[in-house]
């Protein structure tokens, strides 16, 4: 967060009447756009939060925060936008705040003029010394786009502006990760794949084939304690026949490799199972004379 101005409250709130020396009255600003110069410590852009300290009640008191550019040490053109009206009617001294926006980037080191355009009478605190310019306005006038100095005072009004500074990030990938590191836990995953084609192929006149292929995969474990991926793949062939009415036979050939995959890319375990099953059934009828 960057700031121009200061949140120190001015010690003065009365001013001497120039037409009556020795007589002091409560200082106020009425229907004027007043600005003070500042040098930006960082680039100025985007939404900003403006503050002004007021000490006295006035039912109609209000103001808009504004920023103007500089030309030869004088306020020039308005460069702020979307200025928020601030209610400055206070029962006792307090900071009041409102937003404004900067549509264009103003580089660090640039001189700008920041202040407020008052409506009716506002009562700010101030300190002696400084350079504050005033442009006279009528009640209800819009914020001027060009500034014209009508009056100047060697005072500093209690006001400041906060704004966010641009942030640049530099990423330097120097960290390495080994299998024994435990950085984060992997989510359990289960993937299933199955394909059934029935019938697909004919071996010869009487045989049909039922083919079933399948794959199961599960990943689990942590990077620090690797358990890897488990895959189960296989294919089942079931030749069927109805060649002989009284007899049937069933044969199943199942090949099932089980593979354990690790993030390092090497296979820890490969298992193949080849299973051959056969079944022959039939009936035999016997008869003999009694």
One-character DSSP codes across 12-23: B-EEE-TTSTT-
The predicted pLDDT at position 245 comes to 38
The predicted pLDDT at position 119 comes to 86
Q: How many CB atoms lie within 10 A of CB 101?
A: 14
The predicted pLDDT at position 140 comes to 87
The pTM of this model reads 0.59
The predicted pLDDT at position 185 comes to 43
The predicted pLDDT at position 217 comes to 58
CATH match for 2-163 among 2.40.360, 2.60.40, 2.120.10, 2.60.120: 2.60.120
Burial string for 112-126 (b: 16+ CB within 10 Å, else e) reads bbbbbbbbbbbbbbb
The predicted pLDDT at position 139 comes to 87
Summarised one tens digit per residue, pLDDT across range 60-72 is 899 999 999 999 9
Question: What stretches in the chain show pLDDT beneath 50?
Answer: 180-190, 192-193, 200-208, 220, 222-226, 241-256, 260-262, 264-286, 288, 290
CA-to-CA dists, residue 149 to 29, 107, 154, 237, angstroms: 15, 25, 14, 97
Summarised one tens digit per residue, pLDDT across range 138-188 is 988 999 999 999 999 999 999 999 999 876 656 666 655 555 444 444 444
The predicted pLDDT at position 231 comes to 59
Is the separation of the CB atoms in 133 and 149 below 8 Å?
yes
The predicted pLDDT at position 202 comes to 43
Phi first, then psi: what are they for 188, rounded to 5°? -65, 135
**Pairwise CA distance, residues 75 & 40, whole Å:** 15
CA 281, 286, 290 angle in degrees (round to 5)?
160
**Pairwise CA distance, residues 208 & 243, whole Å:** 11
Encoded tokens for 90: 């206070």
The predicted pLDDT at position 175 comes to 58
Instruction: Name 14's bridge partners.
Output: 26
CA-to-CA dists, residue 156 to 112, 128, 234, angstroms: 15, 6, 85
The predicted pLDDT at position 18 comes to 84
């Amino acid at each position: 967060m960057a700031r121009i101005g200061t949140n120190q409250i001015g010690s003065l709130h009365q001013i001497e009447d120039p037409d009556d020396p020795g007589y002091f009255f409560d200082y106020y600003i009425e229907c004027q756009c007043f600005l003070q110069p500042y040098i930006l410590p960082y680039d100025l852009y985007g939404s900003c939060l403006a503050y002004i300290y007021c000490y006295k009640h006035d039912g109609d008191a209000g103001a808009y925060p504004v920023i103007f550019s500089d030309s030869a040490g004088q306020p020039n053109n308005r460069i702020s936008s979307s200025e928020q009206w601030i209610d400055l009617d206070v029962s006792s001294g307090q900071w009041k705040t409102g937003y404004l926006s900067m549509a264009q980037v103003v580089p660090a080191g640039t001189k700008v003029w920041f202040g407020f355009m008052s409506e009716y009478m506002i009562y700010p605190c101030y300190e002696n010394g400084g350079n504050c310019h005033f442009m006279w306005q009528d009640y209800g006038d819009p914020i001027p786009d060009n500034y014209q100095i009508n009056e100047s005072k060697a005072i500093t009004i209690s006001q400041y502006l906060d704004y966010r500074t641009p942030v640049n990030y530099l990423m330097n990938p120097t960290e390495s990760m080994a299998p024994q590191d435990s950085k984060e836990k992997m989510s359990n995953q289960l993937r299933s794949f199955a394909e059934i084609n029935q019938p697909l192929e004919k071996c010869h006149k009487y045989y049909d084939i039922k083919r079933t292929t399948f794959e199961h995969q599960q990943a689990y474990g942590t990077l620090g304690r690797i358990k890897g991926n488990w895959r189960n793949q296989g294919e089942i062939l079931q030749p069927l026949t109805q060649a002989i009415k009284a007899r049937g036979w069933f044969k199943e050939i199942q090949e099932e490799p089980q593979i354990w995959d690790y993030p390092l890319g090497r296979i820890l375990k490969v298992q193949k199972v080849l299973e051959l099953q056969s079944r022959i059934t039939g009936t035999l009828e016997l008869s003999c004379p009694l």
